Amino acid sequence: MRVIVEGNMTRSCRSSIFKLGLPCLAIVVIIILYVIISTKQDLLYTSESVGLFDDLNYLRKNGITNNLSAVNLDNMDADQLLLTMHSYLDNTDVICQRKLRMGKVGDGGWEICDDPKVRPQQPCVIYSFGINYDFSFDDDAARLYGCHVYSFDPSMENMKTSDRSDHVHFYKIGLSGATLIAQNGWSLYTFSDLRSLLGHQNVTIDIIKMDIENWEWETIPQMISTEQLMLQNKK
């Protein structure tokens, strides 16, 4: 599953479409670091008063970019956590040799990694969260790769759940960290409940495109806690 957020994962973790194209582990680490840093907010800016960030060697030592599994984050101070979060986020761990733009060149289009080992191969399934009346990514991905694309957006008042084409299927529902009816009447589902709704519990989701206006922060921790991003699915 690969994730594209507003990213790409391998077939064991291959959801293409966090704008940054981050692997699953990076997403997990960033969220963990963010939570820990939030508990130490009173220490976040102490470095500015003592000038620690003026030392290049200090930055290199404390901005950890790899092997974080061997590091006890609870023992890191606020400066180390902050530097590590930014260093890890900005570091390139996986390089895609060839990205192909699907949809518009401007806003509404997204890249898919077309490297042979990770490109979508039929039969393939793409989840596209956040449409705003622009199906250009969905239409191109379905036409060029032959995938079934499931498009989700609860905010499109003039649209009803329907098949846009033989391969593009629109659902007027959204993604959240909990399954509920929002105050504005939107039907929202967790990722696991949405897969169950579509009968996709045992279907590999090759790509996830997610552009849902900050709802990612509620959604992704739930996806991680239920191991949705790590599932080894068989077609």
Domain boundary among 67, 90, 113: 90
Domains: count for the chain: 2
Q: Are residues 53 and 136 located together in one domain of the fold?
A: no
Contacts for 29 with CB less than 8 Å, ≥ 6 apart: 68, 88
| CA 70/CA 52 separation, integer angstroms | 24
pLDDT at 214: 79
Confidence of residue 129 (pLDDT cuts 50, 70, 90): very high
Q: Are residues 54 and 161 located together in one domain of the fold?
A: no
In a domain, 15, yes or no: no
Q: Are residues 139 and 199 located together in one domain of the fold?
A: yes
Q: Are residues 221 and 144 located together in one domain of the fold?
A: yes
For the cut 90, the answer to whether the pLDDT of residue 68 exceeds it is no
**138 three-state secondary structure:** helix
Confidence of residue 5 (pLDDT cuts 50, 70, 90): low
In a domain, 112, yes or no: yes
Nearest to 168 by CA among 187, 133, 143: 143
Confidence of residue 84 (pLDDT cuts 50, 70, 90): confident
Q: Are residues 69 and 159 located together in one domain of the fold?
A: no
Place of tokens 């191969």: 121
Q: By percentage, how much of the chain surpasses pLDDT 90?
A: 44
Confidence of residue 12 (pLDDT cuts 50, 70, 90): very low
Q: Are residues 161 and 199 located together in one domain of the fold?
A: yes
Q: Are residues 81 and 102 located together in one domain of the fold?
A: no
Q: Are residues 114 and 219 located together in one domain of the fold?
A: yes
Q: Are residues 51 and 79 located together in one domain of the fold?
A: yes
In a domain, 17, yes or no: no
Question: What separation, in Å, do the N-terminal and C-terminal C-alpha atoms of the chain show?
Answer: 12
In a domain, 70, yes or no: yes
Q: What is the DSSP string of 103-164?
A: S-SSTT-EEEE--TTTS--SS-EEEEE--TT--HHHHHHHHHH--EEEEE-TT-TT--SEES
In a domain, 154, yes or no: yes
Q: Are residues 70 and 161 located together in one domain of the fold?
A: no
Calculate the average pLDDT of the chain.
79
Q: Are residues 149 and 117 located together in one domain of the fold?
A: yes
Please tell me whether the peptide bond between 123 and the residue prior to it is cis, using omega within 30 degrees of 0.
yes
pLDDT at 36: 57
Q: Are residues 72 and 105 located together in one domain of the fold?
A: no
In a domain, 27, yes or no: no
- List the domain range (segments joined by +) for residue 60: 47-90
